[in-house]
Amino acid sequence: MLEDTIAAISTPLGEGGIGIIRISGPEAVKVASKVFKPKRGAPLEGTASHRVRLGLALDPKTGEVLDEVLALVMRAPRSYTAEDVVELHCHGGPLACARVLEAVLKAGARLAEPGEFTRRAYLNGRLDLAQAEAVLNIIRARSRAGLSAAVRQLEGSLSRRVREIKDAIVGVLAAVEASIDFPEEVGEPGTEVRERLGKVREDLKGLLATWEEGKILSQGIRIALVGRPNVGKSSLLNALLKEERAIVSDIPGTTRDTIKETLQLGGLACELVDTAGWREAAEGLERMGIARSREAALAADLVLLVVDLTVGVTKEDREIRESLKDKPLVVVGNKVDAVARAEVEPLKDLAGSWPWVVVSAKTGAGLEELGSKVRGLVLSGQALRAPDEPLLLRERHKVALERALEHVEDALAGWSEGLPWDLISIDLRGAWEAVGEITGETAQDELLDRIFSEFCLGK
């Protein structure tokens, strides 16, 4: 596969300032030379690495001028794929890009498969598998915090931590297998070796403990806006979105279905669901909307229970709170701008052990504090981590570490029970293989196919 020269459009389809056709492989410069005609100077094949040339993109069969382009040459191994790479920077119209790509394919390249550029970077040793997946996490990042975590993973923070754990497992495995092969010379592994394996177990548990935070940062959370009619849920949604997304009216029952929007709240990617106001007297379509609201609230990761401060906490508010049972929530006292002094004791009582905050959807007062309360609640129980501390951002990594932990715990249990060393070594080897899947050292082709199929063409 690496003998082929591949090409694809690497920028999103649609109108834009620039569209990039990326060419990678042993014939990249030769293929590009058949399409690119410099406006001055030597042919493209004589261009040094990391130099940009201005010229025309031509159809290699007919000589028709397709576009005025820039050609960027990157010689192996100093490129994204660690192969020879040429990028043709066209004008960003979809037709212009498509025609230049067609010309490149006529010149001898083949169309790249999804994720094939990044897969080549992995196969050529420029990235390990965890770093390759970080590229996808960067592309799909929905919040600043998620983007920052993905960039740290691309820089190798997770890979370094995983390799430390894998090396520790290898050290224990070597001691155990030496005792099997040379029992008289080496003897049985001692307490120190077992303590090293115990530390591996704690290191695995520590890394696994980052999954909930990593999942939130990479995938986001679902939040449901819940409350009686006319407490200002739709106004709060509009205020958080900073646009008039939901219809606001004094007439009860205006919102008859759930409205979903994505935004950042407290630096976290959120899907915010505005629900119909809960009331018992509803009929027809409104009753159906309320039923959906209850379903949305129960399916959400977190609920914002909105209360009207001009009315105070009512019996209906308490009933809604009771129906939510142990659902994580923040009680939001809305319309603080319309009261002389907010009565917070009833809010505290309604919230119980959960956070509460007073806001004004009209003026924006308290919205920043609301974001902080949401973030604090979502990340509660998570220790503050240093900027370079790795997080698990993909479920595949979590599953691999869980499997490794199970093997390590079985090995420690077997050690305590006095099982034969060859049986213990089987679990140690299983732990090593599971951890190695994260960076790709023990990954099979089927796993690679599944991972890189998630990527788009051109990446």
Which residue ranges in the chain fall short of pLDDT 70?
1, 244-258, 276-293, 381-388
The answer as to whether 458 is a domain residue is no
The answer as to whether 455 is a domain residue is no
Q: What is the pLDDT of residue 107?
A: 97
Q: Are residues 300 and 241 in the same domain?
A: yes
Q: Are residues 313 and 332 in the same domain?
A: yes
The answer as to whether 118 is a domain residue is yes
The CATH number of residue 25's host domain is 3.30.1360.120
The answer as to whether 384 is a domain residue is no
Q: What is the pLDDT of residue 242?
A: 83
Helices 445-452 & 116-123 angle (0-180, nearest 10): 140
Which tokens is 316 given? 């209906």
Q: What is the pLDDT of residue 181?
A: 86
The CATH number of residue 273's host domain is 3.40.50.300
Domain holding 140, by residue range, is 132-210+390-440
Q: Are residues 249 and 367 in the same domain?
A: yes
Q: Are residues 27 and 57 in the same domain?
A: yes
Q: State the Cα angle at 136 between 135 and 139, rounded to 5°.
A: 90
Q: Are residues 254 and 107 in the same domain?
A: no
The answer as to whether 355 is a domain residue is yes
56 forms beta bridges with 37, 68
Q: Are residues 189 and 118 in the same domain?
A: no
Q: Are residues 198 and 107 in the same domain?
A: no
Q: What is the pLDDT of residue 248?
A: 42
Tell me, what amino acid is at 357?
Answer: V
Half-sphere exposure of 85 (CA within 13 A, CB side): 24
Q: Are residues 158 and 221 in the same domain?
A: no
Alpha-carbon distance of 439 to 153, in angstroms, equals: 11
Domain's final residue, options 127, 142, 162: 127
Q: Is-contact 298 404, C-beta < 8 A?
A: no
Q: What is the pLDDT of residue 140?
A: 86
The CATH number of residue 204's host domain is 1.20.120.430
Give the total number of structural domains in the chain.
3
Q: Are residues 148 and 275 in the same domain?
A: no
Maximum alpha-carbon separation in the chain: 88
Taking CA atoms, 79 is separated from 54, 86, 119, 124, in Å, by 20, 9, 13, 11
Q: Are residues 79 and 152 in the same domain?
A: no
Q: What is the pLDDT of residue 423?
A: 95
The torsion angles phi and psi of 329, rounded to 5 degrees, stand at -150, 160
Q: Are residues 155 and 120 in the same domain?
A: no
DSSP secondary structure string for all residues of 208-277: HTTHHHHHHHHH-EEEEEE-STTSSHHHHHHHHHTS--S---SSTT---S-EEEEEEETTEEEEEEE-PP
**Helices (H) and strands (E) in the chain — how many of each?**
17, 13
The answer as to whether 453 is a domain residue is no
The answer as to whether 448 is a domain residue is no
Q: What is the pLDDT of residue 255?
A: 43
Q: Are residues 344 and 303 in the same domain?
A: yes
pLDDT in tens, 274-320: 876 665 544 444 455 556 667 777 778 889 999 999 999 999 999 98
